[in-house]
């Protein structure tokens, strides 16, 4: 009869912290780390915000419905919320508002696209960018778009973020009318096969005028990309002025 040696029981190791905020991202790539509220446990959400505030950085929380904002009560010195964009910004004590000389023209084709546009707007304004917005200016009524662009002509717009659902044609049209880069954001609005945003995405990718396209409903991504472009523009201005 063979005797088997007793099997040693190994103690389960801890998975470690579930939240590791990238506190150097602003310095490293020029844009802050956003805290995605969607899908996060309450404790992890508070921990991420706490880590940013402890480092003297504001916390920009995206995809956070207003009914969850109370989870962050008591953190930071003050808060700014964008209900439609589902963005909450928590400011650490003693922090100064960021300043940015960049100007972004923000256009939304229809009122169904405004929530995605407002996500981008909230993030841009949190980092000090000047946002000039015009909504419900889709191609079904081209005169509305021209009126909006005429209003923008008085301001030094550096780039445009154009948000559109359904067939997603608006960024292509805008790119043929204005100076500066265009960031197209397809939205999951509309009917039928393309109503998930794929129709708008395909149209923007096939644009005959140059349009940079982010993912469906990617208002946050468009805002971060705009920040990086504005940062390079500002660097160029400083070099030309000898600063």
Rounded alpha-carbon distances, angstroms, from residue 200 to 107, 134, 164, 208: 15, 19, 7, 14
Cα 16 from chain centroid?
Answer: 29
Q: Three-state secondary structure along 214-225?
A: CCCCCHHHHHHH
> Three-state secondary structure along 77-141?
CEEEEECCCCEEEEECCCCCCCCCCCEEEEEECCHHHHHHHHHHHHHHHHCCCEEEEEECCCCCC
Burial of 192 per CB tally in 10 Å (0-12, 13-18, 19+) = exposed
In this structure, what is the dihedral angle of CA atoms 100, 222, 176, 133, given to the nearest 10 degrees? -60
Q: Give pLDDT tens digits for 28-39.
A: 988 889 999 999
Rounded to an integer, what distance in angstroms lies between the CA atom of residue 66 and that of residue 88? Answer: 8
Of 195, 207, 203, nearest to 168 by C-alpha is 203
CA distance 99 to 111: 30
Tokens of 82: 């964008």
Q: CA 128, 73, 222: angle at the middle one, nearest 5?
A: 35
pLDDT tens digits for range 34-72: 999 999 999 999 999 999 999 999 999 999 999 999 999
What is Dmax (Cα atoms) for the chain?
94
**CATH fold of the domain at 103-236:** Rossmann fold (3.40.50)
Q: What is the pLDDT of residue 237?
A: 72
- Contacts of 166 by beta carbon, 8 Å cutoff, 6+ apart: 109, 110, 189, 190, 191, 194, 195, 199, 200
Q: How far apart (Å, rounded) are the C-alpha atoms in residues 73 and 76?
A: 8
pLDDT in tens, 136-180: 999 999 899 999 999 888 878 999 999 999 999 999 999 999 988
Pick the residue with more confidence: 196 or 237? 196
Share of the chain above pLDDT 90, in %: 72
110, 138 contact by CB (below 8 A): yes
Integer-rounded Cα Rg, in Å, for the chain is 22
154: tokens are 């008085």
Q: What are phi and psi of 170, to 5 degrees?
A: -55, -45
Residue 9 contacts by C-beta under 8 Å, 6 or more apart in sequence? none
Q: Does the model's pTM come out above 0.85?
A: yes
Q: What is the mean pLDDT of the chain?
A: 90
């Amino acid at each position: 009869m063979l005797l088997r040696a007793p099997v040693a029981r190994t103690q389960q190791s801890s998975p470690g912290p579930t939240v590791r905020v990238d506190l150097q991202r602003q310095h490293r790539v020029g844009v802050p780390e956003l805290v995605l509220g969607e899908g996060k446990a309450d404790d992890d959400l508070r921990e991420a915000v706490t880590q940013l505030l402890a480092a003297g950085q504001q916390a920009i929380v995206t995809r956070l419905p207003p009914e969850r904002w109370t989870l962050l009560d008591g953190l930071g010195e003050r808060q700014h919320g964008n209900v439609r964009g589902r963005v909450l910004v928590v400011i650490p004590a003693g922090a100064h508002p960021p300043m940015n000389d960049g100007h972004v023209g923000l256009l939304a084709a229809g009122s169904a696209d405004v929530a995605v546009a407002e996500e981008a707007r909230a993030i841009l304004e949190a980092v000090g960018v000047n946002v000039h917005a015009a909504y419900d200016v889709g191609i079904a009524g081209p005169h509305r778009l021209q009126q909006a662009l005429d209003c923008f002509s008085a301001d030094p717009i550096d780039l445009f973020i154009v948000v559109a659902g359904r067939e997603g044609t608006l960024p292509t049209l805008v790119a043929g009318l204005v100076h500066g880069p265009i960031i197209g954001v397809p939205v999951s609005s509309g009917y039928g096969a393309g109503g998930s945003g794929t129709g708008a995405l395909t149209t923007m990718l096939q644009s005959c005028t140059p349009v940079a396209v982010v993912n469906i409903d990617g208002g946050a991504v468009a805002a971060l990309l705009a920040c990086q472009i504005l940062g390079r523009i500002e660097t160029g201005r400083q070099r030309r002025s000898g600063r």
